[in-house]
Amino acid sequence: MSTPASAADLLKTPLHDLHVALGARMVPFAGYSMPVQYPAGLMAEHRHTRQAAGLFDVSHMGQLTLTGPDACAAFESLVPADVIGLPVGKQRYGLLLTDDGTIVDDLMFFRRASDELFVIVNGACKTGDLAYIEARIGSRCAVTPLPDRALLALQGPQAAMALARLAPDVAGLVFMSGGDFEIGGIPAFVTRSGYTGEDGFEISVAAGQAEALARLLLAQPEVAPIGLGARNSLRLEAGLCLYGNDIDTTTTPIEAALNWSIQKVRRSGGERAGGFPGADRVLGQLDGSVPVARRRVGLIALDRVPVREHTALQALDGQPAGEVTSGLLGPTVDQPIALAYVRSELAQAGTELVALVRGKPVRMQVAPTPFLPARYYRG
């Protein structure tokens, strides 16, 4: 978390006053003052989300629309995902890439109409992403930022029950679908998605109505406010990348084990293969014609010692193996878990490595992700 010159420099989300009223501990994050935890504490918030429903303020994220007859084709020229083939009413994960095939940002895009995409990008990257998109495809479609929208995430196995009480029709949504709804009379755009590994929803709402909506949701017996601390532990148990930690402009999608985000139609031999920045390198790594020196893996500590980001890893022969990019004691799995980049020959599940924690060796084992099975609602 980067710290600006002073608290006065920090931006505030539309829910800032509500966080303070709820007793949140506020910290700098992506240029904003954000709640890291509430009085219940990180562990309780994490467990509440896994067992019931947690409400997250993610209004620091960037929201924008791309509109025009060429919008989908234009956006497809920037990401290695199938945009043109995405049905109206559906959402997909995507990656903005440099011309070298490394990751500028990861994002979600939703097809609202045949000629309109709704895009959500990471908060710390949104200014750069907007400039990147505008520079590359601004002549082909209208690129419109939505700074007057807030974004809330309602996550957990009881999220659908709580939200359907206020907007019954949301119960008809399945994972990665969405639409326009009224929630207790407040207009909102809702997708059934999230970044915790649980069933849940992301809700885009006018900034001026965000606090009223948040209070409506928090009034539901299943729902509690959740901060950034638990959001991080939840996404790590779900094996999901955090931009700036686990992916960045030094990593390619294949190194990052994000092969699944490249649909068949965009791969070598596909109907619309390539055509995105860095395609030769990315598709070469995908089909094996370009070597991949390192890969992102999951790790479980065999000793009960949390292993944090930037911790060096060694192979059993003492040679450098890689580095941890995210790590903590997983509250639900009750084990120290981590994501890391290791030499490709060490990426096989079951491989034992050694992490050097304050100079002391901690045994770790490469493990499949997610560390906890996802519970997305697919109908």
* Number of domains within the chain: 1
Which of these, 156, 166, 160, 157, lies nearest to 205 by C-alpha position? 166
pLDDT exceeds 80 at position 375: yes
Check whether 4 has a pLDDT greater than 80.
no
Please compute the mean of the pLDDT values over residues 74-102 and round it to a whole number: 98
CATH number for the domain spanning 160: value is 3.30.1360.120
Q: Identify the burial level of 182 via C-beta atoms within 10 angstroms of its C-beta, where 0-12 means exposed, 13-18 middle and 19 or more buried.
A: exposed
d(CA 324, CA 296): 9
Q: Shortest CA distance to 189 belongs to which of 201, 171, 200?
A: 201
Please check whether residue 237 lies inside any domain of the structure: no
Domain extent, residue 168, equals 7-61+148-226
Is there a domain that residue 177 lies in? yes
* DSSP characters over 288-304: TSS---EEEEEEEESSS
Q: How far apart are CA 339 and CA 275, in angstroms?
A: 30
In a domain, 355, yes or no: no
Tens of pLDDT, residue by residue over 23-63, are: 999 999 999 999 999 999 999 999 999 999 999 999 999 99
Q: How many Å apart are CA 209 and CA 59, to the nearest integer?
A: 13
Q: Which two tokens stand for residue 15?
A: 């829910």
Q: Cβ(105)–Cβ(95) under 8 Å?
A: yes
In a domain, residue 259? The reply is: no
Tell whether 47 is covered by a domain: yes
How far lies 151's CA from each of 192, 197, 210, in Å?
13, 18, 8
What is the reported pTM? 0.96
Residue 344 lies in a domain: no
Report d(CA 94, CA 328) in Å as an integer: 26
Domain membership of residue 152 (yes or no) is yes
Of the pLDDT bands very low, low, confident and very high (cuts 50, 70, 90), residue 98 is: very high
What percentage of the chain exceeds 70 in pLDDT? 98
Q: What integer pLDDT is reported at residue 6 of this predicted model?
A: 63
Residue 3 has pLDDT above 50, yes or no: no
Average per-residue pLDDT in the chain?
97
**Does residue 192 belong to any structural domain of this protein?**
yes
